[in-house]
């Protein structure tokens, strides 16, 4: 496994927009095309394709929240065909390293839909802690960087 991130360009937008979660997971994450469109309105949001060598396997986005000015991992998905193989964990660890190198923030936040046990377990295993906050019906976790 050789996980890398690639910025979204006109050349890989189609491949990244074809990545899908299972139908039971559709309410856990927005479609990638929507995320890329959203990023056009928030200059600090960085949408990234997750690749294993040259194969696109997922999509992440991070950036500064307009309201609280904190750093958030805004989206994270691994295509259903590639789930359960360690891609999510490796990519999340790599993203945290990237965030630490490129930003002066001391903490990063993310949120997930209650009941998304796979995501919850993954986030806790890399050190995220429950803040006790619920925002837009999602549980907010925080990682001290």
Ligand X SMILES: CC(C)(COP(=O)(O)OP(=O)(O)OC[C@H]1O[C@@H](n2cnc3c(N)ncnc32)[C@H](O)[C@@H]1OP(=O)(O)O)[C@@H](O)C(=O)NCCC(=O)NCCS
For ligand X, give the closer residue by CB, 6 or 89.
Answer: 89
Element (H, E) at 39: helix 32-39
> Which residue has the closest beta carbon to ligand X?
88
CB of 136 to ligand X, least distance (A): 12
CB of 113 to ligand X, least distance (A): 7
CB of 102 to ligand X, least distance (A): 21
Closest to 30 measured CA to CA, from 59, 69, 67, 9: 59
For ligand X, give the closer residue by CB, 11 or 136.
Answer: 136
> What's the CA gap between 23 and 38, in Å, rounded?
22
Contact residues for ligand X (CB under 6 A)? 21, 25, 28-29, 76-78, 83-89, 112, 116, 118-119, 121-122, 125
For ligand X, give the closer residue by CB, 29 or 64.
Answer: 29
Judge whether 74 and 64 are in contact, CB under 8 Å. Answer: no
For ligand X, give the closer residue by CB, 62 or 87.
Answer: 87
What is the residue-wise DSSP string for 66-119? TTT--EEEEEEEE-GGGTTSSHHHHHHHHHHHHHHHH---SEEEEEE-TT-HHH
CB of 101 to ligand X, least distance (A): 22
């Amino acid at each position: 496994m050789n996980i890398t991130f690639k910025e979204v360009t006109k050349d890989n937008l189609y491949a990244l927009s074809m990545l899908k979660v299972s139908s039971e997971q559709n309410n856990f994450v927005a479609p990638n095309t929507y995320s890329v469109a959203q990023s056009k309105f928030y200059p600090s949001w960085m949408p990234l394709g997750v690749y294993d060598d040259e194969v696109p396997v997922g999509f992440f986005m991070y950036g500064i929240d307009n309201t609280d000015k904190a750093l958030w991992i805004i989206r994270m998905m691994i295509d259903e065909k590639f789930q359960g193989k360690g891609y999510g964990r490796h990519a999340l660890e790599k993203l945290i390293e990237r965030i630490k190198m490129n930003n002066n923030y001391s903490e990063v936040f993310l949120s997930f839909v209650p009941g998304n046990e796979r995501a919850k377990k993954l986030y806790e295993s890399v050190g995220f802690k429950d803040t006790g906050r619920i925002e837009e019906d999602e549980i907010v976790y925080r990682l001290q960087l």
